[in-house]
Amino acid sequence: MIHGGTTLRGEVEISGAKNAAVAIIPAALMVDGVCVIENMPQISDTEMLLTILRELGARIRFLNRSTVEIDCRNVCMQDAPYDLMRKIRASYYLIGAMLGRFGHAKTTMPGGCNFGVRPIDQHIKGMNALGADVDVKAGFVYADARDGKLHGARIYLDKVSVGATMNIILAATLAQGRTIIENAAREPHIVDLANFLNSMGADIRGAGTDTVKVNGVEKLHGGSYAIIPDQIEAGTYMVAAAATGGEVLIKNVIPRHLECISAKLRETGTIVLENGDTVLVKGASSLRKINVKTLPYPGFPTDMQPPMCALLCVAGGTSVITEGVYDNRFKYVNELRKMGAEIQVDGRVAVVEGGHRLSGAPVMACDLRAGAAMVIAGMCASGTTVVEDVRFIERGYENFVGKLNALGADIHIVDEREESDGRDKILTMIG
């Protein structure tokens, strides 16, 4: 429940990157030793993956709130928790990690946010090229290295894919010989996965460029690693500060990862000042319209598209948003319309008529980033907004309500025990 009309002021600390963590946890499966991973975000996606590893026999121990020790030396494959795998998209990384470690894998088809078809054909193309037979049937993915071991290969990705790039890096790490991935995605979390693996003894070069080279090694040894700060969490707080006309110091960031977000916010008239590992965002008294197109990194991130749309609803003038990555990532627009937003959507283009106040309403969180967008809209709106299905938000934002309330927001998580219609319970924590 969000009481609107608040201006965010103060400081917020960014947690570890979700989309790095959800690949690094499966990568720990391949390490013949103990990994100590710092800056692990406390979100349900990482908790889910750590639970999956534990059910596979890994020893998992939290040394403090954000440092986890993982020992996968006694992991074996039988009775994997498929019900958990089905819930998150990142479970596909278990294919690459299991193939790398055992020479075979069985996972479920990935779950995750529903905005259009999200195939894994490029993942399968990569695994086939490395010498694995992959079969998808009855909702499961089966992969087997034809002669028990994977072999390096040259792989050209038909589509720039974060998941496929990272999955192939995982599978190639312990393969025999050299793998070259061309037309690779360049996101910061791909570099983070490569750096993690290299610190455990892998030999991966070129991560962060469109050509990644992996020289397979015999084994990976234990070690420690700190996950990078979350680019999208940081961007979400930057947009929230700008949209509410506040002034927020965002700490523990890598400004280079935020360049595109900072640039687009400056176009709206927002002041963005980078200083070491912080970014100061000062909202303008009135925000200007802009045009945004989402693209793979270093373009404007698709995951920032819903939060930016919420901001543009309260900016002046007509803005155009083009979704360059997914087929159908505007479902949340219907929820913004319930709050008075005037947005026309045609396929991958949304035209936002800004310039008027939103009003609070009961809305749904369609997915993780859409949920964050609804909260931003609720803080800007007059009156009260109730966002349902906040479990989506908990998947990717550590302590979202706590961090926002510390900045002056007025948000409470309420519980609705309407068992009759079987609706998902909203978290019972009173914020």
Catalytic residues: 113
Phi, psi of 154 (to 5 degrees): -100, 120
Q: Are 245 and 58 in contact (CB under 8 A)?
A: no
Q: Which is nearer to ligand EPZ, 225 or 397 (CB)?
A: 397
Round to whole Å and give the CA distance between 59 and 70. Answer: 6
Two structure tokens written together for 407: 């900045």
107 forms part of the interface with ligand EPZ (CB under 6 A) = no
370 forms part of the interface with ligand EPZ (CB under 6 A) = no
CA 325 to chain centroid: 14
Shortest Cβ distance from residue 367 to ligand EPZ (Å)?
7
Return the closest-CA partner of residue 41 out of 60, 26, 55, 62. Answer: 62
Q: Which is nearer to ligand EPZ, 244 or 302 (CB)?
A: 302
Shortest Cβ distance from residue 269 to ligand EPZ (Å)?
27
Select the residue interacting with ligand EPZ from 58, 80, 107, 123 (CB under 6 A): 123
Q: Which is nearer to ligand EPZ, 81 or 324 (CB)?
A: 324
Round to whole Å and give the CA distance between 212 and 179. Answer: 8
242 forms part of the interface with ligand EPZ (CB under 6 A) = no
Secondary structure class of 23 (helix, strand, coil): helix
Q: Where are the beta strands (DSSP E) in 122-196?
A: 132-137, 140-145, 154-156, 178-182
Site for ligand EPZ (CB under 6 A): how many residues? 25
Q: Which is nearer to ligand EPZ, 106 or 369 (CB)?
A: 369
Round to whole Å and give the CA distance between 45 and 186. Answer: 22
108 forms part of the interface with ligand EPZ (CB under 6 A) = no
Q: Which residues pair with 183 in a beta bridge?
A: none
Round to whole Å and give the CA distance between 7 and 380. Answer: 8
22 forms part of the interface with ligand EPZ (CB under 6 A) = yes
Q: Burial-class residue 148 by CB neighbours within 10 Å (0-12, 13-18, 19+).
A: exposed
Q: Which is nearer to ligand EPZ, 309 or 325 (CB)?
A: 325
Q: Which amino acid is at 211?
A: T
325 forms part of the interface with ligand EPZ (CB under 6 A) = yes
Phi, psi of 12 (to 5 degrees): -140, 140
Three-point CA angle 61, 46, 385, nearest 5° = 130
Shortest Cβ distance from residue 325 to ligand EPZ (Å)?
5
Select the residue interacting with ligand EPZ from 161, 198, 244, 305 (CB under 6 A): 161
119 forms part of the interface with ligand EPZ (CB under 6 A) = yes
Stretch touching ligand EPZ by CB under 6 A, among 98-106, 118-126, 204-212, 280-288: 118-126
How many CA atoms lie within 13 Å of 339's alpha carbon, on the beta-carbon side? 35
Stretch touching ligand EPZ by CB under 6 A, among 120-128, 194-202, 267-275, 343-351: 120-128
Return the closest-CA partner of residue 212 out of 160, 134, 258, 254. Answer: 160
118 forms part of the interface with ligand EPZ (CB under 6 A) = yes
Select the residue interacting with ligand EPZ from 28, 90, 190, 375 (CB under 6 A): 90
CA 430, 403, 365, 351 dihedral sign is positive
347 forms part of the interface with ligand EPZ (CB under 6 A) = no
10 forms part of the interface with ligand EPZ (CB under 6 A) = no
Select the residue interacting with ligand EPZ from 144, 303, 394, 398 (CB under 6 A): 303
Select the residue interacting with ligand EPZ from 113, 169, 181, 249 (CB under 6 A): 113
Residue with tokens 């074996």: 76
Select the residue interacting with ligand EPZ from 17, 98, 162, 281 (CB under 6 A): 162
Shortest Cβ distance from residue 219 to ligand EPZ (Å)?
26
136 forms part of the interface with ligand EPZ (CB under 6 A) = no
Select the residue interacting with ligand EPZ from 6, 19, 195, 385 (CB under 6 A): 19
**Residue 425 neighbours by CB distance under 10 Å:** 13
Q: Which is nearer to ligand EPZ, 90 or 409 (CB)?
A: 90
Q: Are 300 and 309 in contact (CB under 8 A)?
A: no
Q: Which amino acid is at 94?
A: L
Q: Which is nearer to ligand EPZ, 185 or 381 (CB)?
A: 185
**Residues within the interface to ligand EPZ (CB under 6 A):** 18-19, 22, 89-90, 113, 118-123, 159, 161-164, 185, 302-303, 325-326, 368-369, 396
